[in-house]
């Protein structure tokens, strides 16, 4: 998923929490990053990879996203984030942001709607079993924390409900095939997130856990996740042909 024309780029990773604290509140911020951009450019850097800047409770360093469409207030305002994008471009550099596409925060509005006992369009955007007592082996599930009748899958921490891109080989009734229309909504949502940032000048994305979207795939065969990405990137390329995608992808030797 890495662009061939990026081979000569020199990327500099910035973790906004700790990079440069401009207002002395104990956390790094957008203005602090702006103040150091000339220094970064003088190092020979041509592109910046910014770790998650989204609104988040920070139970996993920002990789638990509460709101994809707004910046965390600890870093600054949305306007300050896009000023950072402009300042990076003014120095002839590119910027890619972390795209956390495998899970959200348990505080994310779309998860809370999915976790409601009342039907909604978000019901199948997360992975739920049929009842709270069903905790399938081989996956991490949580139960008893929300009113929906079922247990829900998480990635990594208990506060990171897994977005549902489907299963390659469904076995149980609650598992939805990755080509089923019910889980295509998750792809649509993530495309919407990408288009939001590309339309405002972000050059592309470093894609978090890109190879683990479709569940129950083997390490040797990621063909279903590849197919999902071909669909989403194909849609993005229609309007943003030069969008950058750099994936976190596990290669088994």
* Residues taking part in catalysis: 208, 248
Backbone torsions φ then ψ of 210, nearest 5 degrees: -65, -30
Give the closest residue to 87 by CA, choosing from 51, 37, 40.
Answer: 37
Tokens of 197: 């940032």
Q: Which contiguous run of DSSP H or E holds residue 242?
A: none
CB 101 within 8 A of CB 213: yes
Q: Within 10 Å of residue 216's Cβ, how many Cβ atoms? A: 15
Asked whether the beta carbons of 9 and 94 are under 8 A apart, the reply is yes
Q: Are the beta carbons of 162 and 151 closer than 8 angstroms? A: no
Say how many Å lie between the first and final Cα of the chain, rounded: 18
Which of helix, strand or coil describes residue 50? strand
> Which residue's structure tokens are 């990635």?
155
Structure tokens at 57: 């409770």
């Amino acid at each position: 998923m890495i662009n061939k024309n990026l081979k000569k780029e020199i990327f500099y990773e910035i973790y906004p929490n700790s990079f440069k604290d401009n207002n002395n509140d104990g956390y790094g911020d957008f203005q602090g990053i702006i103040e150091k951009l000339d220094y970064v450019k003088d190092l020979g850097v041509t592109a910046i990879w910014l770790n998650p800047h989204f609104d988040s409770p920070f139970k996993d360093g920002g990789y638990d996203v509460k709101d994809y469409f707004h910046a965390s207030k600890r870093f600054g305002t949305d306007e300050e984030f896009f000023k950072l994008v402009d300042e990076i471009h003014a120095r002839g550099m590119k910027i890619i942001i972390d795209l956390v596409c495998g899970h959200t925060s348990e505080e994310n509005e779309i998860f809370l709607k999915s976790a409601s006992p009342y039907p909604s369009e978000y019901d199948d955007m997360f992975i739920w079993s049929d009842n709270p007592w069903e905790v399938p082996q081989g996956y991490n599930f949580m139960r008893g924390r929300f009113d929906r009748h079922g247990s829900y899958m998480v990635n990594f921490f208990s506060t990171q409900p897994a977005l549902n891109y489907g299963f390659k080989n469904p076995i149980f009734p609650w598992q939805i095939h990755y080509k089923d229309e019910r889980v295509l909504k998750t792809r649509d949502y993530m495309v919407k997130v990408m288009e939001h940032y590309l339309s405002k000048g972000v050059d592309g994305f470093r894609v978090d856990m890109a190879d683990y979207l479709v569940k129950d795939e083997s390490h040797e065969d990621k063909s279903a996740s590849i197919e999902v990405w071909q669909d989403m990137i194909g849609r993005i390329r229609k309007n943003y042909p030069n969008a950058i995608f750099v994936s976190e992808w596990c290669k088994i030797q």
